[in-house]
Structure 1
Amino acid sequence: MAAKIEIISGETIKPSTPTPEHLRDFKLSLLDQLIPHQVYIPILLCYSHHDINNAFGSTDDHFSVISQKLKTSLSHTLTHYYLYSGTTVKDNLSIDSNDTGVVFIESKVNANLSDILISPLLDVMVNDFFAFDPYNFDEPEANMAVQLNQFNCGGIALGVTFNHKLGDGITAASFLKHWSLIARGQGSLIEAPQMETCNLYFPPKNFKMPSYRDMLTQEDNVTKRFIFSGTNLTRIRDRITSSSKNLSRIEAVTALIWKSALEASTKASSKEQKIHASRAIHVVGIRGRMDPPLPEVTRGNLVVYSLSPLLELKGEVGLHDFAEMARKAVRGVDKDYVSKLVGDGILESVEEMKASKQEGVAVYTFSSVTRLGYYENDFGWGKPTWLGTVSKRPNKNTALFFPTRDGEGTEAWITLSKDDMVEFERDPEIVQYTSVDC
């Protein structure tokens, strides 16, 4: 079901206090520089009309009140996260923090929020809840953009797009937490962001990253959302535990998705080149693995891409084999490993990633935002009823894990080629452990 979305207003929100002159030419860290140009983190926070009515009463025009509160608190938040109100990257080295501001768009959606929550991946409508398509490289560049969407029922969806060059998912989560606390009048609880700490450990170097457009696969990819309840996550982990000790639930579900996606690719492939081995890449946060550990409010792309050992597809390869490789990829990023990356040691890890691309070796990438507290973002009218992102992602063979609202399960947003997805969806184990929205 398609729904008409009408843009009703747009303005630019600037920091409530001008950015000091000495902070305006902000140098990126080496980890920031490694993020390809024009990559964005799109986060969608949906709030039900029931919660909004409970907060404001059932007779007032809530949307104008909510909009003004969001704009005012965003202005104050940008004073602390001043990079997001600046202009885009200069020569992959720095940000011009010139207080250009953040675009804030308001829209009306000719549908009820419940229509979206029942099947949030229906058509491509979710993409229209953002100020721009984060994967359309013809769009104007921006460090951040906000779109506030009002539904017929009175519910809202807040679509926020962050420039990945300025920070990872934890940085985005810290920004949203900061913003929501100010909106609720709880600024005294805010922990100020550490904007430059990352640069001290990973000083910038003078080099250019390739275009993100050139790094994408040209196939007709499909993204679908598969829901694993907390009970099913435990069932998957318990099934493997006898042969893989201390396995986390995310590591277990990673193994299941990896195995099923690989088998789907083998069935769907008509290529002469056969897959003889596979690897998994895990995006692993390193703030807590630094020595000493860095707080979550440390701005930047403090993540590494950890490559699993090569899994040779010879003889019988069981789920426990995939689980063991997944576990090694995640657990291998310890303090000793991270200490070797400080400075420009991270570049060796990048070269290792490049070397992983070999003919006949299928590589799958996994990342998780399940513990980042996105569902805690209460701006004054309750916590989100659903958390999402754009409904079509361009990177093939990837899985992004979101939490479910109850905090017990996970939503796996999986992107595969169109042919692989057909086989993946009917895999008996995927059917057994999930529900799917399409």
Structure 2
Amino acid sequence: MVTVKETHVVKPAEETPSKIMYVSDIDQINPITHAPTIYFYRSPSFSSFPIMVEILKHSLSKALVIFYPFAGRLQWTHRNRLQINCNSLGAHLLEAETDARIDDFAPDYRPTSAVRDLIPSADYKRPIEDLPLVLIQLTKFSCGGVSLGLGLSHTLIDGQSALHFVSEWVRIARGEGPEYLPFLDRTVLVQDQEDLLPADHFDGSDYKKPPLMIGSLNNIEERLKETDVLMLRLSKEQIDKLRSKSNEENKRPGDLDRGFTRFEVVAGHMWRTASKARKHMETQETALRVVVNIRNRVKPPLPKFYFGNAILPVIVTSTYGELVSKPLSYVAGKIRAATEKVTDEYTKKATIFLDKQEDLSQWRYLHVVGSTQGVFYGNPNMDITSWLTLPHMEGGTDFGWGEEDHFGPGVVGFDGKSFILSDYSRPGSAVVALRLQVTHIEDFKTFFYEDILN
């Protein structure tokens, strides 16, 4: 059981601009929840928990001067869009303790409900103007270790921006000062609607609802089925085998002239494996949702250290029969084709398409655990997020008490949702965190490894 002992409101250490900030259309389709991540420190060099809390408070107050939108609050506009009120109301930092030990979570640190208790959450029934954009919880374990649970507003940032914020906060905590200042102006993503006529050339297919199970009128029954999270490791050798086989299969005139990436082959392998484990009918349609980083795909590229969401979703569709009968290179090629269509022109058209939508709520509820609203990528579909290319901080997330023993997602929200993480303890290896319906888990694990061997 986790007990919260005290809650601190941490405001910027200095006066910051007081203004309303624009939230881009790309930000608008992200969940209004807080993206949960977790850090475990087995043997922190500081034995004094109160000192660790003070280090976090002092350094966070300085970090919020630089990242001052994070100290504000969201509010609704007349168009049912969101904007940021930079009012310096501050972040919330919780002190907590538990009788549990870190060994209760190691070695795989599976993001279960017990892990979720180590990360602060907000009451989303309250007005959005009341919700802090940064939630932090430092929890002391009975073994002497600690965990740091973060909840950062997904409306404001994607994974790359989140790690930028954490890395600068860490540097400040160690007395080194900030290294790279964030670029905060989101209006660089505003598009001139006179330049393009997306209605003629953009069908919005990446924003349509995914397929349902054959014979179903909605996805409510699938949402209600029992699910659980599994963590599966892929060694460098296993990933190399997937890549090598796919690249060999693909050596035909007119095909791709460069090898498949780790993400393309692992995501393709996961999608095929999930369909096999779910035992779909041959004609069952299935969709895979992935997100694409647009920072270097737009012209000119977004400013370095752009602070916001710079990702767009793309949808790959197939049928069960096609996925299992075609080679992995075919599936990986479909994923590549979908991601490569995200160009500067595509981004502009997608942004204008979103701006013209009266209601964006169906996408905002995508990742809400237990939600029955909006788009759902559970059975027969999948949603795969890659953390393989997220920047890794040299020395880890060391606030002055040592490098973390584990960093990962705090929640894998729904059936079909998954993350592919780099395993920094084993270069070239990866970890897959995946939530599936319980009845499909054992088959997934079996096919996942057997298909690599075969």
Given the two structures, how large is their TM-score scaled by the length of structure 1? 0.80
- 8 Å contact kept, 1:309–1:328: no
Show the 5 A alignment for 1:65-80. 65-80=51-66
- Superposed CA RMSD in Å reads 3.4
- 8 Å contact kept, 1:77–1:182: yes
CA shift digits 1:47-93 (9 cap, x unpaired): 230xx33xx5xxxx332222111110100111122222222332423
Separation in 2 of the partners of 1:26 and 1:142? Answer: 16
Residue in 2 that maps onto 1:5: 2
Show the 5 A alignment for 1:38-437. 38-49=32-43, 52-53=44-45, 56=46, 61-91=47-77, 92-121=81-110, 124-132=113-121, 137-138=124-125, 141-187=131-177, 189-196=178-185, 198-202=186-190, 217-244=223-250, 246-266=259-279, 275-308=283-316, 310=318, 313-314=321-322, 316-341=325-350, 343-344=352-353, 362-373=380-391, 376-391=396-411, 393-406=412-425, 407-427=427-447, 429=449
Residue in 1 that maps onto 2:26: 31
How far off its partner does 1:13 sit?
A: 0.6
Q: State the aligned residue count.
A: 398
CA shift digits 1:126-180 (9 cap, x unpaired): 0111112x7x745773311000012223222110101111111111111101101
- 8 Å contact kept, 1:30–1:204: no
Compared with structure 1, are the counterparts of its residues 119 and 399 closer, same or farther at alpha carbon in structure 2 (3 Å cutoff)? closer
SS in 1 for 2:279: helix
- 8 Å contact kept, 1:280–1:329: no
How far off its partner does 1:279 sit?
A: 3.0
Separation in 2 of the partners of 1:151 and 1:319? Answer: 44
Separation in 2 of the partners of 1:35 and 1:412? Answer: 23
Given the two structures, how large is their TM-score scaled by the length of structure 2? 0.78
Separation in 2 of the partners of 1:345 and 1:159? Answer: 32
How far off its partner does 1:110 sit?
A: 1.7
- 8 Å contact kept, 2:111–2:229: no
How far off its partner does 1:46 sit?
A: 1.6
CA shift digits 1:189-247 (9 cap, x unpaired): 52111111x32223699xxx9xxxx9993433322222222222112211222123510
Once the two structures are overlaid, the 10-residue window that deviates more, 175-184 or 87-96, is 87-96
Separation in 2 of the partners of 1:220 and 1:296? Answer: 43
Compared with structure 1, are the counterparts of its residues 200 and 259 closer, same or farther at alpha carbon in structure 2 (3 Å cutoff)? same
Residue in 2 that maps onto 1:436: none
Once the two structures are overlaid, the 10-residue window that deviates more, 82-91 or 101-110, is 82-91
Once the two structures are overlaid, the 10-residue window that deviates more, 332-341 or 382-391, is 332-341
Separation in 2 of the partners of 1:332 and 1:347? Answer: 21
SS in 2 for 1:304: strand
How far off its partner does 1:264 sit?
A: 1.2
Q: Partner amino acid for 1:79?
A: V
- 8 Å contact kept, 1:148–1:158: yes
CA shift digits 1:264-323 (9 cap, x unpaired): 1126xxxxx874333322111111212122245211111011122545725933322222
- 8 Å contact kept, 1:15–1:85: yes
Once the two structures are overlaid, the 10-residue window that deviates more, 64-73 or 251-260, is 64-73
- 8 Å contact kept, 1:28–1:204: no
Q: Percent identity?
A: 22
Compared with structure 1, are the counterparts of its residues 226 and 42 closer, same or farther at alpha carbon in structure 2 (3 Å cutoff)? same
CA shift digits 1:313-367 (9 cap, x unpaired): 259333222222122222332445335445557879x9xx99xx99xx9432211
Separation in 2 of the partners of 1:312 and 1:415? Answer: 19
Once the two structures are overlaid, the 10-residue window that deviates more, 369-378 or 141-150, is 369-378
Q: 1:18 aligns with which of 15, 24, 35?
A: 15
- 8 Å contact kept, 1:386–1:405: no
- 8 Å contact kept, 2:10–2:60: yes
Residue in 1 that maps onto 2:253: none
- 8 Å contact kept, 1:285–1:304: yes
Compared with structure 1, are the counterparts of its residues 430 and 365 closer, same or farther at alpha carbon in structure 2 (3 Å cutoff)? farther
- 8 Å contact kept, 1:86–1:143: yes
Separation in 1 of the partners of 2:327 and 2:356? Answer: 34
- Gaps spanning 5+ residues in structure 1: where? 268-272, 434-438
Separation in 2 of the partners of 1:123 and 1:398? Answer: 14
SS in 2 for 1:427: helix
- 8 Å contact kept, 1:217–1:394: no
